[in-house]
């Protein structure tokens, strides 16, 4: 081995003795880790050959990740010292922090967090050195076996490498790939945020572990700023906005189902009207099919087998035995409320003899769908038990698939751009392990979806094995205020349903062929979309969607009649206008208008009444533009209506 090696540190070349540690060649004392030949490593990593070394600062993405990962270890150390008998499992970093899953004698509660956090601070203050070591995998298994860490043993048994790395800080140690900060003193700004249950390895058949979430930053200031932003995001929660803006509410009498108030349904209806206008342009035909079907339908469609747990079922009161699922033929007497429109649409398809000249056929429907969601998953409008989708089923030939998917993607892009969603995530969900059809057919359909995506020039990632069992799909995700991702739009290929319902069309050759079905929704669930849209906009909706578009504020009793006349005039023009004639000061009325997020406030006092004019105040305080009544009406009429 050479006595000296050449290193390039942050772009500067030098020669150091072999065995020098990365920390020694990096001058920067604030560094939390090193990048050696591009690989993230500990600062104590020994340099044994020529290397390029870069400092990883605490504020960089990689540095933050190291800090968070090390903080997760600190958490585990604190927990094991406070709660003997607790086993550790895994503790990864996540988008804004980290978590650690434990198997404790009793589950943790949020009341345990302050004590754990206090212990973490003590351990951080002790500035324990964090040391890496390696050992043979078998030796590590024996070691953790002795320590009673059965989950770690299970993890080790799944690791292919012969040698594994361990990290020790003080008396405590953990199996870990690293890297970590050099000592616990580097961890200064962290906070434990919540506790939750989580299944071991994410499988609900496994044991329920106790998970603790936390976050960590390079500085106290960055941590405080993050906590402040989280708090601001909470105020955008659509459940809060829905109540504050008087849009909808929920009641225990109908779990998971919104009561839309007059203002809320305005948003709902205008979104649907917008999609309807697009349907005229894109060539869709709207239909309405039944809500309640004999269970025979669900047997034929496969929903009985695959979706029954999520369906609301009802007995037939006229049946001799009014049961739902008892006895061999019991199901025939029952009904099921539709959770999807697709089976109904196959009946629309079958209503006539179809030929290749008819295709593609595009049937759209906005009917309400009901799904018996498990109680723990409900989440305001974004996860409800009733929803209306801007649903459509396209029946086409194999050769038409790519064009159809590309056309629907264009529609998706138009809608999301119009509604102001700049960062939409596209995913291509591919063949799952349990699937119908041949691998070749799957790869071909996936290729068609990918080609349609590329034709639209959108970036997308694969979502491996996440396709439906009957075909691949394109999923479109949008984030809520807390950056949780919700699936909105979807485009799915389906070879199964046409088969089950024996659909066919006459080809030009005269032979009977099987059409392909494409399920697609642009907004997805209109409920979910409204929820995400409210969080995205903070409730400040575009003019065409605003429940109340104009509010006329009267300055005193003397101008009551004029204010009412202005509002009536605007209503006659078709605007959603109201007048606030209450005996209150202007400042109070303006405040309420702001809180209600009315885009136009129109102030009228004696000056305006005399001149038959108004003072326009836009939302967010852009104020005081005097205008004649005609100017106001012209201005409102120039507000764009999309589609």
Partner RNA sequence: GCCGAUGUAGCUCAGUCGGUAGAGCAACUGACUUGUAAUCAGUAGGUCGCGAGUUCGACUCUCGCCAUCGGCUCCA
Residues with catalytic function: 342, 371, 389, 391, 393, 473, 519
Nearer to RNA, 114 or 197 (CB): 197
With CB under 7 A as the contact rule, the residue among 41, 80, 184, 210 that binds RNA is 210
- What DSSP character marks residue 356? G
- Contact letters for RNA, residues 584-623 (x by CB under 7 A): xxxxx-xx--xx-----x-x-xxxx------x-x--xx-x
Q: What are phi and psi of 150, to 5 degrees?
A: -70, -30
- Strand, coil or helix: 523: strand
Per residue, what are the HEC states of 452-517? HHHHCCCCEEEECCCCECCECEEEEEEECCCCCEEEEEEEEEECHHHHHCCCCEECCCCCEECCEE
Query: Of 4-63, which residues contact RNA (CB under 7 A)?
Result: none
Stretch near RNA under the rule CB under 7 A, chosen from 14-22, 197-205, 316-324, 632-640: 197-205
Minimum CB separation of residue 141 from RNA in Å reads: 26
Q: How far is the CB of 247 from RNA (least distance, A)?
A: 14
Closest to 449 in 3D by CA, of 491, 495, 390, 391: 491
Which residues, numbered 98-137, are part of the site for RNA (CB under 7 A)? 107-111
Q: Single out the residue of 23, 152, 303, 385 in contact with RNA (rule: CB under 7 A).
A: 385
In contact, 88 and 212? CB cutoff 8 Å: no
**How many chain residues are in contact with RNA, going by CB under 7 A?**
79
Q: Which is nearer to RNA, 120 or 198 (CB)?
A: 198
**Smaller CB separation from RNA, 111 or 171:** 111
Q: Could you tell me which stretch among 77-85, 183-191, 199-207, 541-549 binds RNA (CB under 7 A)?
A: 199-207
By CB neighbour count within 10 A (0-12 exposed, 13-18 middle, 19+ buried), where does 377 fall? exposed
Of 63 and 104, CB closest to RNA: 104
Residues 388-427 that bind RNA (CB under 7 A): 389
Give residues 137-196 in contact with RNA (rule: CB under 7 A).
194-196
Question: At closest approach, how far in Å is the CB of 623 from RNA?
Answer: 5
Task: Choose between 167 and 190: whose C-beta lies nearer to RNA.
Answer: 190
Nearer of residues 41 and 87 to RNA, judged by Cβ: 87
**Residue of the chain from 6, 208, 288, 572 that contacts RNA (CB under 7 A):** 208
Cα 641 from Cα 643, distance rounded (Å): 7
| Closer of 235 and 269 to RNA (Cβ) | 235
Whole-number minimum distance, CB 560 to RNA, in Å? Answer: 9
Q: Which residues inside 498-557 make contact with RNA, applying CB under 7 A?
A: 521, 524-525, 527-528, 555-557
Bridge partner list, 314 = 335
> Can you read off the two tokens belonging to residue 474?
């394109």
Q: Does the footprint of RNA cover residue 384 (CB under 7 A)?
A: yes
Buried b (16+ CB within 10 A) or exposed e, 342-356: bbbbbebbeeeebeb
> 437 by DSSP, 3-state: which?
coil
User: Which range of residues in 121-129, 147-155, 162-170, 205-213 is near RNA by CB under 7 A?
Assistant: 205-213
Closest CA to 539 of 528, 551, 530: 530
Query: Three-state SS for 18?
Result: coil
Site string for RNA, 254-293 (x = CB under 7 A): -xx-------------------------------------
Exposed, middle or buried, 511 (CB in 10 Å: 0-12/13-18/19+)? exposed
User: Please, what is the minimum distance in Å from the beta carbon of residue 322 to RNA?
Assistant: 23
Which tokens is 604 given?
Answer: 């009228």
Burial of 624 per CB tally in 10 Å (0-12, 13-18, 19+) = exposed
Q: What angle do CA 524, 530, 535 make, to 5 degrees?
A: 120
State in angstroms the smallest separation of the CB of 127 from RNA: 31
């Amino acid at each position: 081995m050479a006595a000296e090696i050449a290193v390039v540190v942050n772009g500067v070349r030098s020669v150091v003795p072999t065995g020098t540690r990365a920390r020694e060649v990096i001058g920067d004392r604030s560094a939390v880790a090193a990048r050696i030949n591009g690989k993230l490593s500990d600062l104590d990593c020994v340099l044994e050959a020529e290397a390029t070394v870069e400092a990883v600062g605490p504020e960089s993405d990689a540095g933050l990740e190291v800090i968070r990962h090390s903080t997760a270890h600190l958490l585990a150390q604190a927990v094991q010292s406070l709660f003997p008998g607790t086993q550790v499992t895994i503790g990864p970093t996540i988008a804004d922090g980290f978590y650690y899953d434990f198997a404790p004698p009793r589950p943790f509660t949020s009341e345990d967090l302050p004590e754990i956090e206090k212990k973490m601070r003590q351990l951080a203050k002790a500035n324990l050195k964090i040391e890496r070591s390696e050992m043979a995998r078998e030796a590590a298994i024996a070691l953790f076996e002795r320590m009673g860490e059965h989950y770690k043993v299970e993890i080790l048994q799944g690791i292919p490498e012969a040698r594994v790395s361990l990290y020790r800080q003080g008396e405590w140690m953990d199996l870990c790939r690293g890297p970590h900060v050099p000592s616990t003193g580097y961890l200064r700004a962290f906070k434990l945020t919540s506790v939750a249950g989580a299944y071991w390895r994410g499988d609900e058949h496994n044991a329920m572990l106790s998970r603790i979430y936390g976050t960590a930053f390079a500085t106290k200031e960055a941590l405080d700023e993050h906590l402040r932003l989280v708090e601001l995001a909470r105020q955008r929660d659509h459940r809060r906005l829905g109540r504050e803006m008087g849009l909808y509410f929920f009641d225990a009498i109908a779990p998971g189902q919104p009561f839309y108030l007059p203002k809320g349904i305005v948003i709902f209806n205008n979104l649907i009207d917008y999609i309807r206008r697009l349907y005229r342009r894109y060539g869709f035909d709207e239909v309405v099919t039944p809500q309640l079907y004999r269970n025979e339908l669900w047997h034929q469609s496969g929903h009985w087998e695959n979706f029954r747990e999520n369906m609301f079922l009802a007995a037939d009161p006229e049946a001799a035995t009014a049961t739902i699922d008892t006895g061999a033929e019991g199901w025939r007497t029952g009904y099921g409320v539709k959770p999807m429109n697709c089976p109904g649409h196959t009946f629309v398809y079958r209503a006539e003899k179809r030929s290749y000249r008819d295709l593609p056929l595009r049937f759209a429907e906005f009917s309400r769908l009901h799904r018996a969601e498990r109680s723990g998953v409900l989440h305001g409008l974004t996860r409800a038990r009733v929803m209306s989708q801007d649903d459509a089923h396209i029946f086409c030939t194999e050769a038409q698939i790519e064009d159809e998917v590309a056309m629907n993607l264009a529609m998706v892009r138009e809608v999301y751009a119009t509604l102001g969603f700049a960062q939409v995530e596209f995913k291509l969900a591919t063949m799952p392990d349990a699937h119908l059809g041949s691998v070749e057919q799957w790869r071909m359909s996936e290729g068609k979806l990918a080609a349609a995506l590329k034709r639209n020039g959108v970036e997308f990632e694969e979502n491996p094995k996440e396709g439906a069992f009957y075909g691949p799909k394109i999923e479109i995700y949008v984030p809520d205020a807390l950056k949780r991702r919700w699936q909105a739009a979807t485009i799915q290929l389906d070879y199964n349903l046409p088969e089950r319902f024996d659909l066919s069309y006459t080809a030009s050759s005269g032979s009977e062929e099987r059409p392909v079905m494409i399920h697609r929704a642009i907004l997805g669930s209109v409920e979910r979309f409204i929820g995400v849209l409210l969080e995205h906009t903070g409730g400040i909706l575009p003019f065409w969607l605003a429940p109340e578009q104009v509010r006329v504020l009267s300055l005193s009793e003397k101008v009551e009649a004029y204010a009412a006349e202005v509002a009536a005039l605007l209503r006659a023009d078709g605007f959603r206008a109201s007048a606030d004639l209450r005996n209150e000061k202007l400042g109070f009325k303006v405040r309420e208008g702001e809180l209600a997020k009315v885009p136009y406030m129109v102030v009228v006092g004696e000056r305006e009444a005399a001149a038959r004019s108004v003072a326009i105040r836009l939302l967010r305080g852009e104020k005081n533009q005097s205008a004649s009544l005609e100017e106001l009406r012209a201005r409102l009429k120039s507000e764009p209506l999309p589609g």
